[in-house]
Amino acid sequence: MDAAVRVTDLVKRYPGRPVNAVDGISFTVERGEVFGLLGPNGAGKTTTIGVLTTRVLPTSGAASVAGVDVAADPVTARSRLSVVPQRPNLDRALTARQNLVFHAAYHGVGRAERNRRADALLEQLGLGGRGGDKVDDYSGGMAQRLLIARALMHAPQVVFLDEPSTGLDPQARLFVWDRIRELRAGGVTVVLTTHDMDEAAALADRVGIMDHGRLLALDTPAALTRSLPGSATLDIDLERAPEDTDEAVLDALAPLAERVEQVADSSGLRARLYLSGDAAALVGPVSEALGARGARLTGVRIGEPSLEDVFLNLTGRELR
């Protein structure tokens, strides 16, 4: 069976621009997978999604969605994919329910079936009873849910979500996340772009990190964080022996970690150890080393690396 999304050596250069917006990326998304595309603004995510959703013409390379080449046969591709845009683009001349029904009509869904689906989806997305409202009267969260409902009206095989929870309140965000999980459970492939690392970690089976048009890393969130050197931390509070000095204690801990720093904002002595391995396993050795100098461990806190650390490590800290 074909992959849900297959991108091969994709390049997009906009006329008059000195660099490629997308610079030779390749990746595959399996059916039923939730795939997250991460990257700073201008990294090439939106252009990549634009190509996959037939709105941007590739300069070279190939891209297919649900087994259909998007450049060669955009019409068939459009019948198998759908898009939830970041900014609501609902038809404001229509009611919420009419937005759903007309969308399905564009896609050739029969009258009885599209009415049935519209009612079912409105109900499932918590909009039952609000179907007759003008979409102008919808809040941001309701509009987002309606966009998701609209995207599902023609039963697509691949759904593209652009920044699905930007600007939503926490309740709406969790609601949207749950719906995305339901889609995966139903075998729909989901490709989402985000720069919300929590969102990517919570939803995506695999994550691709893009910058400057290139794919810098591609793996499961867990594997990506494991691969990051020196980002696990162990914070320790300690009481040293009166005759000892802070510096000497920290020096004694140095061989155990990649780097040791004194944390300034503390009344007692607090240190942060940066390491690559499992932070918890280091508690014993640290305690022993301190005991040998007559110092006492009074507090421990373990910091796991997050996807955000991976992201910043790969894409840098400068503002875009």
Partner 1 sequence: MSTDTVAPGLVVQAGAAAAGRPDVGRAFRALLWRDVFVTGRELVPFLLQVVLQPVFLLFVFGKVLVELGFATDQYADVLLPGVIALTAFLTALQNTAFPLVIDFSFTKEIEDRLLAPLPTALVAVEKVVFALLRALIAAAVMFPISWWVLGTLPVEWGDLPVLAAFLVLGSLVGAVMGMTLGTFVKPNRINIVFAVVLTPLLFTGSTQFPWQSLDTLRWFQVVCALNPLTYVSEALRAEMAPEVPHLPPWLCALALTGFLALFGVTSLIGFRRRALD
Site for partner 1, rule CB under 8 A? 1, 14, 47, 50, 53-57, 74-76, 78-80, 82-83, 85, 87, 89-94, 102-103, 105-110, 113, 117, 120-121, 124-125, 150, 152-157, 179, 182-188
In angstroms, give the least distance from the CB of 286 to partner 1.
47
- What DSSP state is assigned to residue 267? S
Nearer residue to partner 1 within complex by CB, 102 or 261: 102
In angstroms, give the least distance from the CB of 205 to partner 1.
15
Nearer residue to partner 1 within complex by CB, 94 or 312: 94
User: Using CA atoms, how far apart are residues 117 and 207, in angstroms rounded to an integer?
Assistant: 32
Nearer residue to partner 1 within complex by CB, 44 or 305: 44
In angstroms, give the least distance from the CB of 182 to partner 1.
3
Handedness of CA 216, 156, 1, 59 (dihedral sign): negative
In 216-320, which ranges are continuous DSSP H helix? 221-226, 246-253, 283-292, 307-315
In angstroms, give the least distance from the CB of 218 to partner 1.
25
List Cβ neighbours of 34 (8 Å cut-off, separation of 6 or more): 180, 181, 184, 189, 190, 192, 203, 204, 205
Nearer residue to partner 1 within complex by CB, 117 or 206: 117
Nearer residue to partner 1 within complex by CB, 106 or 266: 106
In angstroms, give the least distance from the CB of 168 to partner 1.
18
User: Using CA atoms, how far apart are residues 135 and 92, in angstroms rounded to an integer?
Assistant: 6
Nearer residue to partner 1 within complex by CB, 172 or 295: 172
In angstroms, give the least distance from the CB of 17 to partner 1.
11
Q: How is residue 312 written in tokens?
A: 């910043």
Per DSSP, the residues of 284-305 read HHHHHHHHHTT-EEEEEEEE--
Nearer residue to partner 1 within complex by CB, 60 or 89: 89
Nearer residue to partner 1 within complex by CB, 91 or 251: 91
What strands, in cross-sheet order, belong to the sheet with 206-211? 81-84, 158-162, 189-194, 34-38, 206-211, 214-219
CB count within 10 Å of CB 293 equals 16
In angstroms, give the least distance from the CB of 165 to partner 1.
17
In angstroms, give the least distance from the CB of 27 to partner 1.
21
Q: Are 104 and 117 in contact (CB under 8 A)?
A: yes
Write a three-state SS string for 191-207: EEEECCHHHHHHHCCEE
Residues, the chain: 320
